[in-house]
Amino acid sequence: MPTADLCIPCHKQIHALFTNEELAMNLSTVEMLKQHPDIQKFLKWIKKQPSTRLPRISKSNDRKQKKR
């Protein structure tokens, strides 16, 4: 399966929101990820942060309840 070059915060946020299975089945491209409302909200926020900042990323409540 191909991979995408992502910054560390974006990579962590994606895995905080979605399981690997969800990514493989429903969000398998960068374009599809960019269309998801939760990712759009994160991208809007992260663009305002200094590039030297590495934000803490926590799993979403929905993700915490899902099995890996």
User: Tell me, what's the pLDDT at 4?
Assistant: 81
pLDDT per residue as tens, the chain (68 positions): 677 888 889 999 999 999 999 999 999 999 999 999 999 999 999 999 888 878 878 777 776 676 54
List CB contacts of 24: < 8 A, sequence separation 6 or more: 1
Q: Is the CB of residue 14 less than 8 Å from the CB of residue 23?
A: yes
How many other C-beta atoms are found inside a 10 Å radius of the C-beta of residue 59? 14
User: Tell me, what's the pLDDT at 36?
Assistant: 96
Q: Is the CB of residue 27 less than 8 Å from the CB of residue 21?
A: no
Q: In the block, which residue shows the tokens 């409540």?
A: 61
